[in-house]
């Protein structure tokens, strides 16, 4: 699943509506049509200093948060989601990852199963 922050502002910090994040989310949804990639928009991913933000989620796998995105990154976000969906180890491969998902990586969050207390 690809989650795009709908409340992110543009680089100028404009309060204009629709917000840049909502526009990116709409572009991602349009780009993802027919690919099988689920796209959702969420109000505020809490990454405001890095502007346009998105997250890649996959059940039982690591999750990824990205920032410093642009409205032109919709195709790369979908390409990254497809790459992640076909990963056999549950990680987003570095090789083949679009540049915006390399330079824009904010966090990699482990799946809950890894964090369970073994005792």
Name the residue ranges covered by the structural domains of the chain: 2-115
- Give 14's pLDDT tier (boundaries 50, 70, 90): confident
Model-level pTM?
Answer: 0.93
Q: Per-residue pLDDT averaged across 108-113, rounded?
A: 93
| C-alpha separations of 90 from 10, 37, 82, 97, 117 in Å | 32, 16, 12, 14, 21
Greater pLDDT, 51 or 5: 5
pLDDT digits (tens, 9 = 90+) for 16-75: 889 999 999 999 999 999 999 999 999 999 999 998 999 999 999 999 999 999 999 999
Q: What is the SS3 assignment for 1?
A: coil
Which fold, 2-115?
A: Glutaredoxin (3.40.30)
The pLDDT of residue 75 is 98
């Amino acid at each position: 699943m690809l989650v795009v922050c709908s409340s992110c502002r543009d680089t100028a910090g404009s309060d204009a509506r629709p917000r840049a994040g909502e526009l990116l989310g709409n572009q991602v949804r349009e780009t993802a049509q027919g690919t099988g990639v689920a796209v959702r928009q969420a109000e505020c991913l809490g990454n405001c200093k890095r502007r346009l933000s998105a997250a890649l989620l996959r059940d039982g796998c690591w999750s990824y948060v990205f920032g410093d995105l642009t409205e032109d990154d919709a195709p790369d976000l979908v390409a990254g989601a497809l790459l992640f969906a076909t990963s056999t180890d549950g990680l987003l491969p570095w090789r083949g990852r679009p540049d915006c998902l390399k330079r824009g990586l904010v966090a990699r969050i482990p799946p809950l199963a890894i964090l369970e207390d073994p005792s």
